[in-house]
Amino acid sequence: MVCIVTYSGRGVSASGPKRTASLTNSFATKAKINRSPIKQVVKKKELTNGHVVNHNHRNNHVIKPKAKVDHQRVEVKRREQRKRAGESFEECTLWDAFCTYLCYAVLVLVGYVNDLVRPRTAKEQNRDGYVPLYASFESFYTRHVYRRVRDCWNMPVGSVPGKYITLLERESKDYGWTFQMTGKKVHCINLGSYNYLGFAENHGTCAEAAIKAVREEGVGTCSARRELGNAHHLDELDQLVARFVGSEDAITCAMGFATNSMNIPAILNKGCLVLSDEKNHASIILGLRLSRATIRVFKHNNMRSLEKRLREGIVNGQPRTHLPWEKIFIVVEGVYSMEGSVVRLPEILALKRKYGAYLYLDEAHSIGAMGPNGRGVVDYWGCNPRDVDVLMGTFTKSFGSAGGYIAGSKKLIALLRRGSHAHAYGTAMSPPVAQQILSSMKMIMGEDGTDEGVKKIRQLARNSRYFRQKLKQAGFIVYGNDDSPVIPVALYMPTKIAYVVREMIKRGVATVGVGFPATPLVEGRTRFCISASHTKEMLDHALGAMCEIGQQITIRCSRLPRRKEEIMYDDSDDEDIE
Amino acid sequence: MLNAVLAFFYRNLIGAPSYHLYLEAFLALWLFWLIRQRKKAEKKKLLTAEEEETIINAWQPRPLVDEKELDKMEGYDNGDVWGPISGRPGKYVEIDGEKYLNVATHNYLGLMDSTELDDAAEQCIRRYGVGSCGPRGFYGTVDVHIKLEEKIADFLGLEETALYSYGFAAVSSAIPSYAKAGDIIFSDELVSFPIQRGLAASRSTIIYFNHNSWEDLQEKLEEQRKTDKKNAKKAKTIRRFCVVEGIYSKSGTLCPLKEVADLCKQYKVRLFVDETISFGILGKTGRGLTEHLGVDIKDIDFISGSLEHGFASFGGFIVGPSYVVDHQRISGLGYCFSASLPPLLAGAGIKALEIIEQNPDIIEDVQDKCKYMHKSLDNILTFFKITSEELSPLKFLYLVGCKVLPWEVTRELIEQVIIYVKDNYKIALIQPSYLDSEHKLPLPCIRISVNRLLTYKEIDSIGNAIEDACNALNIFDSIIANISDEDAELRNEMVSEYEAYLKAKEDKQSRKAVLEEEF
């Protein structure tokens, strides 16, 4: 019973007693049947709110002499830890919010003055009398706010995006209007690319296999899959993906973004209600918009909000006609790329079962990167992949390739083979790209005969936990789940974002800054993406640099209790077992 | 000060007539009562918890996949005829251990067979690995992307290019980044599916004009001008766009760009041209329709294209003046939020462009083959109508009378022809795949793609193979048998045409026999 822990996502504490009871009961019954051993272990611990537990209890990373462990017990314990893994999200304080708004206000004001004194707007040529191509505010923001920090994005890269990355230095002589290459190269530790398992390599078995594919099958395909683009390796890939994620069948697509935007319209139609997480990716939103289904947004990872929307949806029916909805879909992501949070899958599955909704799970950032076997958040939570109706994921991140998949029941995939835009019109996947996925996925599954894949998964989990704990200890405001390899650190102000990115590059660490409009105005942040190819020394270097910068600008102002004892890097093979 | 004010009010209150006070008190009470009533009514409207529970329990979702609907869907899959291919789909394609002449894939320039592209790709893998592991903004801009962008822009003589990682995503993301709700887009009715998706995503008002009819476009523009005059203030904020394709991927026709561009100039409408098919094919040096028709490229706001057709690589691009294209980099959804093109594909794209630049005779060659193919298909005109123009590398073969034939019959007959040609001539033909959600769902047809590497003899063999298939399978009789009596006129016309064809054929054979005898 106790395995239902209430979470403290987004600073909202446990949900109201009545609602939670209804929600937890259904899940608890299932847990009771399926996982009776959990009870014995768990009962001793008291029911506590997520991140508080993490701070008060023993550290998982301290190396202790290990006696022979009972594997079942260990698995149960791991699961338990996962359930407790805190989701932290500190709200921006009033003072920070004020400062951030002030910062934007100053930028806008200076912009206006600038426009008055020496108007420098890109003028469109020979389009006199046309209605302007884009709104004046849009170009104002680009000219006066984005332009000042433009050097922090789109940096040209001259190497493989592996553990290190080579940036080609640019300089701007006119305050960000144009850039020139200096010809110099900057070598950085790469904490910016989505290379979770470290498969971005220009040598080794995967790269050689890809080169072989180029030699044998060429680069392009020049045809859609439903025309004459269906190659043997693509059929093999479909089957392998289905086996990997544990579903009946799967279909692949040559672009990750298009997997969402071009397949969702085939699954959903006008009479459907979609409950979409507010932090869902642009590709999902585009797909939903194209499907013409009714979209309602619920608060990020907030089960109470989701249940409320579900009930409202069923009770009120379709707008105006009040006809009952044909289908209700819950659309969520596994790991949110900007938040670092992990979806609360068991609770969502319970809700879905209770209300008869369908679940669309986008595992773009979690497939390969989460779970003891790298099978995504489904594996992480120990759920059954067949309970999720539509499993979507991409190959860009963990597999170091490109493209995406949708997996599900045989019927669903049959529908997509008939109705998917990508299958009918999109060019079939390039052979080397497909080969890279085949080799890396087989490696993760251990089908290449080595334990390379498992090692990578463990290394990633270890690195993510270590880096996050260290950042928290240093007092940074870290968002998201303790186990997620995406680690955003709140900076709030646009000036701080630019400062951190620039200074980190100076100290040999490449990171990503994210600000408005990709995040809300007061939630500017920098983001670290941890990879299995990073070593402890590299992470320590990055942490050192971050702390140094944190000293200069006040960004180490977390109000959460900090851990006193030293955080150890667990370099043993069995990660996170006490 | 405050005291004075209070005293003033007090004096007035005392001094007021009493009926005034009663009236005010009554008014206040009435207001209070009204508010309470409304609250009560609102409460009455709300459902009780039990009622809610009943509704929730009664609600039954439809199954995720409705099998009946699945059967109804138009989902022709060439996989029913062709198994999965193995090896390289170049001029020849290997399927189930057999080698077929490939006129099904969009490999117009024959670059699929070029090992130079492979070398470039291999070099890129050795340098950058396979994936780029990030969107363009976050360490996904590799130097080959920048080089390819510059190359495309230089090739077309324009300022800037935005490179997308998928051909489909390019134009479908670019259109909604400019056109928003309330704007107006004039679009040819036969535009390709990616464009249609872009139009749908923009939520603008879409006005379709008849295919390739600039007269109709003018009419629609004139109509719009009239409505604008009624509300001139609003009209000043409405952006207008016109979307056309260079060579239409659904019909193989060329756009009358000169007339369209002139109209757009006259009515101050921005013009987007999708050159997915025509880029690298039309014009003396392969710069597309603008070069072919001598239209000033500056009159076009952006040109979209793809490297997935003639260029045998991957990726789509938007090219135009910096003012226009730069906006893509912060507002094109498929540009900002997608991982960038794998560097090896960008490398292959650069190589492909270099090959075209250095050997302009390739373009001449492919145009020549397109024209020759068009001519050689003359002998099947009795069975098929060809909508394509002679310069188009795509030839669309529509069965005669297909407009009045039932859909399934057309499909079945075409499939018979394809299978016959497959078995007897080892030529790979396909039916293009479409979805129900197309704006105007085209009828089933055969699509032949011209490949530069085809010899004249091979081109001739394609026409002959189809003709032979039609004769051997008695396609004509099947068509006639399936035309209902309502269309008797058309049927008679077709029969007389067919008889003429037979007679001509007989003559030809007898002449041939005479010649052979003489020889």
Cβ neighbour number for residue B269 with a 10 Å cutoff = 23
Q: How far apart are CA B94 and CA B428, in angstroms?
A: 10
pLDDT exceeds 90 at position A13: no
- The band of B513, judged by pLDDT with boundaries at 50, 70 and 90, is confident
Segment (H or E) for A328:
strand A327-333
Give the DSSP letter of residue A67: P
Chain B residues with CB under 8 Å of A122 CB are 322-323, 326
pLDDT exceeds 60 at position A33: no
Q: How many domains does chain B have?
A: 2
Find the closest chain A residue to B48 by CA distance. A315
The pLDDT score that the predictor gives to residue A122 is: 63
Q: Which of residues 101-140 of A touch B (CB under 8 A)?
A: 122-127, 129-134, 138
The pLDDT score that the predictor gives to residue A573 is: 54
**Same domain as A249, residue A383:** yes
* Model pTM score: 0.87
Helix axes A494-506, A94-117, angle to 10 degrees: 90
Cβ <8 Å between B77 and A417: yes
For range B220-234, the mean pLDDT? 91
The pLDDT score that the predictor gives to residue A78 is: 61
**Same domain as B405, residue B336:** no
The pLDDT score that the predictor gives to residue B192 is: 94
pLDDT, tens digit, 9 for 90 and up, residues A388-436: 999 999 999 999 999 999 999 999 999 999 889 999 999 999 999 999 9
Chain B residues with CB under 8 Å of A411 CB are 64-65, 67, 70
The pLDDT score that the predictor gives to residue A79 is: 61
Cβ neighbour number for residue B159 with a 10 Å cutoff = 16
For range A148-154, the mean pLDDT? 89
**Same domain as A270, residue A141:** no
The CA distance from B120 to the nearest CA of chain A, in Å, is 10
The pLDDT score that the predictor gives to residue B295 is: 93
- The band of B488, judged by pLDDT with boundaries at 50, 70 and 90, is confident
The pLDDT score that the predictor gives to residue A21 is: 39
The pLDDT score that the predictor gives to residue B277 is: 93
Domain boundary among A402, A430, A445: A445
Percentage of chain B lying above the pLDDT 90 cut: 66
**Same domain as B307, residue B227:** yes
Find the closest chain A residue to B277 by CA distance. A222
Q: Which domain holds residue A73?
A: 9-84
Q: Which two tokens stand for residue B268?
A: 């101050």
Q: Which amino acid is at A242?
A: A
Cβ neighbour number for residue B405 with a 10 Å cutoff = 22
For range A369-383, the mean pLDDT? 92
Cβ <8 Å between A200 and B330: no
- The band of B52, judged by pLDDT with boundaries at 50, 70 and 90, is confident
Phi then psi for A514, rounded to 5 degrees?
A: -130, 125
Does residue B341 sit in helix, strand or coil? coil
**Same domain as A487, residue A411:** no
pLDDT exceeds 70 at position A576: no
**Same domain as B491, residue B424:** yes
**Cα A297–A303–A309 angle (5° rounding)?**
40
Which residues make Cβ contacts (< 8 Å) with residue B451, sequence separation at least 6?
B91, B102, B103, B107, B108, B110, B369
**Which residue would you say has higher pLDDT here, A568 or A241?**
A241
The pLDDT score that the predictor gives to residue A126 is: 78
pLDDT, tens digit, 9 for 90 and up, residues A299-357: 999 999 999 999 999 999 998 888 999 999 999 999 999 889 999 999 999 999 999 99
Residue at B386 is within a domain: yes
Q: 3-state SS string over B408-463?
A: HHHHHHHHHHHHHHHHHHCEECECCCCCCCCCCCCCCCEEEECCCCCCHHHHHHHH
CA distance readout (Å), A214 to A149, A468, B133: 40, 40, 20
**Same domain as B430, residue B282:** no
pLDDT exceeds 90 at position B236: no
**Same domain as A319, residue A255:** yes
For range B188-211, the mean pLDDT? 94
- The band of B123, judged by pLDDT with boundaries at 50, 70 and 90, is very high
Find the closest chain B residue to A190 by CA distance. B139
- The band of A18, judged by pLDDT with boundaries at 50, 70 and 90, is very low
pLDDT, tens digit, 9 for 90 and up, residues A487-503: 999 998 889 999 999 99
Residue at B24 is within a domain: no
pLDDT, tens digit, 9 for 90 and up, residues B304-345: 999 999 999 999 999 999 889 988 888 899 999 999 999 999
Q: Which domain holds residue B446?
A: 362-518
For range A260-270, the mean pLDDT? 92
The pLDDT score that the predictor gives to residue A86 is: 67
The pLDDT score that the predictor gives to residue A67 is: 44
pLDDT exceeds 60 at position A40: no
Cβ <8 Å between B141 and A155: yes
Domain boundary among B320, B342, B357: B357
Strand pairing of B316-320 and B384-386? Answer: unpaired
Read off the CATH number of the domain in which B270 is found. 3.40.640.10
Residue at A200 is within a domain: no
**Same domain as B397, residue B410:** yes
Give the DSSP letter of residue B337: S
**Same domain as A137, residue A71:** no
Residue at A89 is within a domain: no
Which of B113, B130, B192 lies nearest to residue A210, judging by beta carbons? B130
The pLDDT score that the predictor gives to residue B69 is: 81
**Same domain as A266, residue A135:** no
**Same domain as B304, residue B399:** no
Which of B84, B128, B240 lies nearest to residue A235, judging by beta carbons? B84
Q: 3-state SS string over B202-265?
A: HCCEEEEECCCCHHHHHHHHHHHHHHHHHCHHHHCCCCEEEEEECECCCCCCECCHHHHHHHHH
Domain boundary among A416, A445, A474: A445
Q: Which of residues 13-42 of A touch B (CB under 8 A)?
A: none
pLDDT exceeds 60 at position B210: yes
**Same domain as B345, residue B304:** yes
- The band of A70, judged by pLDDT with boundaries at 50, 70 and 90, is low
Cβ <8 Å between A427 and B201: no
Cβ <8 Å between A257 and B298: no
- The band of A71, judged by pLDDT with boundaries at 50, 70 and 90, is low
The pLDDT score that the predictor gives to residue A442 is: 94
Q: H-type helices in A373-508, by residue range?
A: 377-380, 410-419, 421-425, 431-445, 452-473, 494-506
Q: How many domains does chain A have?
A: 3
**Same domain as B308, residue B411:** no
Highest mean pLDDT among B169-173, B480-484, B500-504: B169-173
